[in-house]
Structure 1
Amino acid sequence: MPSAVRCCHRGRRQGHMNLKEFAQAIGMSQTTVSRALSGYPEVKPETRQRILKLADELGYHPNRSAAGLATGRAGAVGIVLKEATGFDPNTTEFMAGLGTRLETGQIDILITVVDNEAGELAAYRRLAASKRVDAVIVHTPKTGDGRMAFLKALGMPFIVHGRGVEGEGYPWLDIDNFGAVHRATSYLLQLGHRQIGLINGARGDVFAEHRLAGYRKAMKDYGISAPERWIVHGPFTDDVGYRATQDFLALPDPPTALLAGSMMTALGVMRAVRSAGLALGADISLIAHDDVFNYINADNMVPTVSTTRSSMREAGARIGDLLLQMLSGRDISKFSEIWPVELVLRESTCPPPVNR
């Protein structure tokens, strides 16, 4: 089979093979190939990966123009980012997974940058009126979020990256933020820590509220009512991590362990700990979230950093799969999925110092 495929490839210019010819070349049915490229879950993962690999080798790409004329679709999905918070390593990882997956279906991504929530709604209205995209991705849902109802009223298909509302008739994908922070906090408590600081996301963001609830529940399980001075909310940046840790260490009852909402925040925590003349993993413990970046590797830090882990790139790819299913006509309005989060223990966690 592989030799026959390569022979067919040599005799044909890349990009001019149609679905029927591609299916014949790899010895599969058109239905299987079409469903695999459209992200249908009935296709086994190994079969989908094989088809994607062969499509890349043969230079096969669905004819986007013909498909657009036949279906009336734009061949693109949209995502609206707020300028202040939209560009960070998490977004980069997510877009990498999303873009790679959508490319298999020749679907483009249209990114719109706005200043505020009013600008975001206006952007959705423009996208719906112009018909430049077939669906949009709503990210970072908030408590009482009105964007989903707004998009429904516009008749714009969408999927939510983050926790949606059960039974509201739209698809969403999220990680178990409550469970991740509850487990991390519980582990620190088991080590003997009783003063634990949390550097969380912005208030009102659903993921941050779930993380806060997981933290409070774990502390309550040990009979501890965590004061507000042990909790900081803000964007996930090195500066926020640095300043929050400085403030924590200046308290009369400073935390002996910290939970950082991202690896970027953790970099600031580590810098502040060193500046204070303390040793991470000895004088103070740290657990960070999201050690999934190639350029910020928790295993290469000194000391290595304990983390909760969930791949943003894989989440992007999964949402890409769901969008391809949606655009192929499949009803995924009742879809919801919550991914577990792994706790990876390294050198930055230890029992609290004896004198504390």
Structure 2
Amino acid sequence: MNLKELSQHLGLSQTTVSRALNGYPEVGEATRKRVTEEAHRQGYRPNANARRLATGRSHVIGYVFPSDRSIMIDPIFSDFIAGAADIQSMRGFETLLHAGGEENEMAVYRRYAEGGLVDGVVVQAPHMDDPRLALLDSLDLPYVVHGRVGTRQDGYAWLDIDNRGAFHKATKLLTDLGHTRIGLLNGLEYLTYAQHRREGYEKALHERGLAVDPSIMFSGQLTEENGYRQAKRLLQSQPRPTALVMSSMLMVSGALRAVHELGLAVGTDVSLIGHDDGLPFLNAEGLVPSLTTTSSSIRAAGSRVAELLLSLIENTNADLPQEMWSVDLIVRGSTGPVPG
């Protein structure tokens, strides 16, 4: 299907359809949505070179990652990109992934901006003190941060989940059940999300008058192997934790292996809570017993971040979007009272 046929199918002029697909601000949002959704259904793809000449845009969104094998095979990363790509494709934008190589991330951003290779970028895994934002501001390259940079909230576009609140609720549930030794298996704590999760965990302990014990806490890559090794280490210590709070379902998978090897019963001998990003092949409800989780869809986050970035690209004078998503605590069978 070409532009003329798509226009006739929609009952709109070719100019209106072209402007809707290319993000012109004078096209109403309802019309833009109708055109882009129908173009997606019909498999219409505008000519990239003609579109770039007409708009001065590349219609490409960039993602830059280090050459870290654990990131490239991380299902959380994959699900986020899938959600973002769905929206970008519907709006006629391609997805450009840069993974490692000799260039560092800052050099890639400079090359993207100087060459006009992308119209905007998504910043992933923000640090507590992150130099990428100052660089992107200086390059005048639109961006949205998935997460936040430390305690800084103003001056940039972001979407984050309430990591502090999520792990406060999870830990409080356990203290309400009588647990006093609660282990934490967390991500790398130079990353903002992991630091916020630790703060929420510690807040719940302090509220109950419990000391924070670094010996039953772990910070590292969110892998199944780390979940297994660290859960086994903690559950073999004396006195052992009676509950574990974990930052990913991959860690939960490893922890379950350790629990079973040690002959312990989940929900009775040890309570488990994990963070669930809604990954289709790690179903918290389908485990036996079903897993208590803090829950927020990473795929939905990817879709929303893409929407926010495309809005910034289409209207560079718009207010910078900033969204905080609440996180649900879903109580299931993996949590129970402290063992007698």
TM-score, shorter chain, exceeding 0.5: yes
Identity of aligned residues (%): 37
Q: Closer, same or farther in 2 for the Cα pair 1:281/1:39, shift >3 Å?
A: farther
The offset of 1:190, in angstroms, is 0.9
Instruction: Answer yes or no: is the 8 Å Cα contact 2:21–2:91 preserved in 1.
Output: no
Aligned partner of 2:302 in structure 1 is 316
Q: Deviations over 1:250-303 (max 9, x none)?
A: 222211010111000000000000011111111000010025111111122122
Correspondence 1:300 to 2:283: no
1:81 pairs, out of 38, 42, 65, with 65
Gaps of 5+ in 2: none
Distance 1:282 1:30 in 2: 63
Aligned partner of 2:11 in structure 1 is 24
Distance 1:69 1:265 in 2: 48
> Number of residues paired by the alignment?
334
SS in 2 for 1:126: helix
How does 1:331-350 map onto structure 2 within 5 Å?
A: 331-332=317-318, 334-350=320-336
Q: Closer, same or farther in 2 for the Cα pair 1:113/1:58, shift >3 Å?
A: closer
Gaps of 5+ in 1: 1-13
Instruction: Answer yes or no: is the 8 Å Cα contact 1:219–1:226 preserved in 2.
Output: yes
How does 1:17-96 map onto structure 2 within 5 Å?
A: 17=4, 20-21=7-8, 23-24=10-11, 30=16, 34=20, 43=29, 53-84=37-68, 85-87=70-72, 88-96=74-82
Question: Which amino acid in structure 2 is aligned with residue 167 of structure 1?
Answer: D
1:162 pairs, out of 138, 147, 156, with 147
Distance 1:326 1:181 in 2: 32
Aligned partner of 2:113 in structure 1 is 128
TM-score (norm 2): 0.89
SS in 2 for 1:203: coil
Instruction: Answer yes or no: is the 8 Å Cα contact 2:62–2:122 preserved in 1.
Output: yes
TM-score (norm 1): 0.86
Instruction: Answer yes or no: is the 8 Å Cα contact 1:291–1:298 preserved in 2.
Output: no
Distance 1:71 1:36 in 2: 7
Aligned partner of 1:149 in structure 2 is 134
Instruction: Answer yes or no: is the 8 Å Cα contact 1:97–1:316 preserved in 2.
Output: yes
Correspondence 1:219 to 2:218: no
Distance 2:79 2:258 in 1: 27
Correspondence 1:267 to 2:238: no
Distance 1:36 1:298 in 2: 41
Aligned partner of 2:311 in structure 1 is 325
Distance 1:264 1:182 in 2: 21
Aligned partner of 2:232 in structure 1 is 246
